[in-house]
Amino acid sequence: MLNHTPNEVSERTGLVVNPAKTCQPIGAMYAALGIHNCLPHSHGSQGCCSFHRMHLTRHFRDPVAASTSSFTEGASVFGGSANLKTSIKNVFSIYKPDVIAVNTTCLSETIGDDLPTIINESEVPEGKYVFHANTPSYVGSHVTGFSNMVKAMVTTFSKKEGPCNGKVNLIPGYTEPGDMRELKRIAKVMGIESILFPDTSGVVDSPMTGRYEMYPAGGTKVEDLVDSGNSLATIAMGTFASEAAANELDKKCGVPAHVLPLPIGVKGTDQLILELIKITGKPVPYELEEERGQVVDVMTDTHHHFHGKKVAIFGDPDHVIAITEFVIGLGMKPIHIVTGTPGSSFDRQINAILDAANIKANVKNLGDLFTLHQWMKKEPVELLIGNTYGKYIARAEDVPFVRFGFPNMDRSVHSYFPVVGYKGALRLIEMISNALLDRVDRDAADEDFELVL
C-alpha cells in the first residue's frame, strides 16, 4: 500500500508501473524494415520475435516478417552460435533476402554471444549481407534500439569512395512511413537529391496488388547506404533516435552532421528548411511558402480553441520534445511531460523550451504512466497527448485524448499521414482542435449546441 496523502506524488526508484516505452528489439526491427529486401532477425527465443512482430503489425495494420534463432534450453545455457549460423543459412536459402539485420535480445545479451565472430563464421552468399546491432531489452527503450540499428547501418555499409555526390542524407528518426514520404517530398520540392535511411515507406504501407510480396518495393537500397558516405551532409532529426548514426557517419566518412529536432510544427519545419538552404544554397519554392502560410492562417483562425489550455504529454523523447514546442506555439501550456526513454538531455531540452515560454511543468525521463496519472490527479489538464496506452488515463480522468506517436494500436490509417512538415502541422492542429471541440459539444447545453466557436 502506498503511504501518502491523496495529493502527494511519491518518488519510486525500484518499480515501474505501466512503462511509457517498449523494448529495444522492436525499434531495431522497425529500422531494419527500412532497408530494401531486408529480413530482420531476432537472436533469441521465438516468443521475443513473436511479440516484436505482433506489436509492429498491430500498429501498422500490415504483416511484419522477421526470423528468429529460436533459442531452446540448450542455446539458453550454452549459447546461440549454432542457432544463428543455421538460421542465416536457412533464411538465405528459403526466404532469399539481400540483407539479414540481426538484433540481440535479453537472452543472447545475457549469455554474451559474440555476434561479429558468429556472423563472420557463417555461410553468407556472394552479394548478400548480414549485420547486427546489440539491443538488450533491459537497457534503454525501442528508441534506443532504433538508434543502435541505424548506427549499425552506417558502420556496416557507408563508404567514402568517390567524389561528393551532391546529396543530403536524411535520418528521419522513429517516424511513420507517411512522415518519411513527406520528408522526401520536401527535399524533392526544393530540388535537393537526398538519401533517406532507414525508409519504411513502401514497406509497411505497401499497396494491395493481389499478389504477396515478402519484400515490397520500398526501403533504402544498399547502394544508397554505401553512397551516403559521399554526401554533402547529414541531417539527423531527433537527438535520441538519429544523432548517433549521423555522428558515426561524420567520424567514419567525414560527412558533416547537422542534428535538429523532429520537424513538427512551423518552427521545427522552418529549422529543417533553413538547414537545407544552408547546406545546398537552394531557394525555398513557393509551394512550401504557401503551405507554411496555410498553417499560420489556421493557427490564427483557431487560436481561441487552444489559448491557455493545460496539456499532459508522454511518449518517445524526440516526439515529446517536438510536440511540446508545437503546442506552446498554439498557445497551450504543457504542465506534465514524460518519456519512458532514459536520458538527461531530454530534461535539458524540454526545460529550455519551457523556460523560453515561462512555463512551469513536471518533467521526467525514464518515467511511467502511473507517475503521469498521479500528476494529472494532483493538477488536472484539459488535454492528454500520447500513444494508445494513454486512453486508460483519459477515460479515468475524463480528459480529451489525442493519439500521437508509437504505438497506436486502436486506431487505423494513421501511419499513412505525416505529422512532420507543414502538412503534418495542419493535421495535428485538426486532431487537437477536434478533440477539444468534441468535448465542448458533449458538455454544451441544448440551447448552445449549435453555436460555432
End-to-end CA distance of the chain: 46
Domain shared by 293 and 441, yes or no: yes
Residue 451 pLDDT > 80: no
If one counts every other C-beta atom within 10 angstroms of the C-beta of residue 310, the result is 18
Tally of domains within the chain: 3
Rounded average pLDDT over 433-451: 85
Length of the chain: 453
- How far is it, in rounded angstroms, from Cα 370 to Cα 233? 42
In this predicted model, which residue has the larger pLDDT, 450 or 444?
A: 444
Q: Is the pTM of this model over 0.85?
A: yes
Mean pLDDT of 254-267: 98
State residue 75's pLDDT score: 75
pLDDT of residue 12: 73
- Where does residue 453 rank: exposed (0-12), middle (13-18), buried (19+ CB within 10 A)? exposed
Residue 373 forms part of a structural domain: yes
Q: What is the mean pLDDT of residues 298-318?
A: 96
In this prediction, what percent of the chain has a pLDDT beyond 70? Answer: 97
Q: How far apart are CA 51 and CA 57, in angstroms?
A: 10
CA distance 399 to 335: 14
Q: What is the mean pLDDT of residues 365-381?
A: 96
Give the mean pLDDT of 261-276. 98
To the nearest 10°, report the CA torsion of 325, 326, 329, 332.
Answer: -90
> Residue 218 is which amino acid?
G
| CATH assignment at residue 244 | 3.40.50.1980
Q: Can you tell me the mean pLDDT for 25-38? A: 97
User: Could you report the per-residue pLDDT of 237-250, keeping only the tens digit for each?
Assistant: 999 999 999 999 99
pLDDT of residue 74: 76
The pLDDT of residue 2 is above 60: no
Are 63 and 176 part of one and the same domain? no
178 and 121 in a common domain: no
- Note the Cα 222 to chain centre separation in Å: 22
* Same domain, residue pair 308 and 275: no
What's the chain's Rg over C-alpha atoms?
23
Look up the domain containing 105 and give its range. Answer: 24-157
**Do 319 and 438 belong to one domain?**
yes
Q: In the structure, what pLDDT confidence band is assigned to residue 453 with cuts at 50, 70 and 90?
A: low
Instruction: Give per-residue pLDDT as tens, 83-142.
Output: 999 999 999 999 999 999 999 998 899 889 999 999 999 999 999 999 999 999 899 999
At 8 the pLDDT is: 57
- What is the average pLDDT across 302-308? 94
pLDDT tens, position by position, 379-400: 999 999 999 999 999 999 999 9
Q: Is residue 99 part of a domain?
A: yes
In a domain, 10, yes or no: no
Q: Is the dihedral of CA 367, 368, 374, 378 positive or negative?
A: positive
CA neighbours closer than 13 Å in the CB half-sphere of residue 264: 29
For residues 190 and 261, state if they share a domain: yes
One DSSP character per residue, 106-135 reads HHHHHHT--HHHHHHTS---TT-EEEEE--
Mean pLDDT to the nearest integer, 324-347: 97
Mean pLDDT of the chain: 94
pLDDT tens digits for 147-204? 999 999 999 999 999 899 999 999 999 999 999 999 999 999 999 999 999 999 999 9
Residue 260 resides in a domain: yes
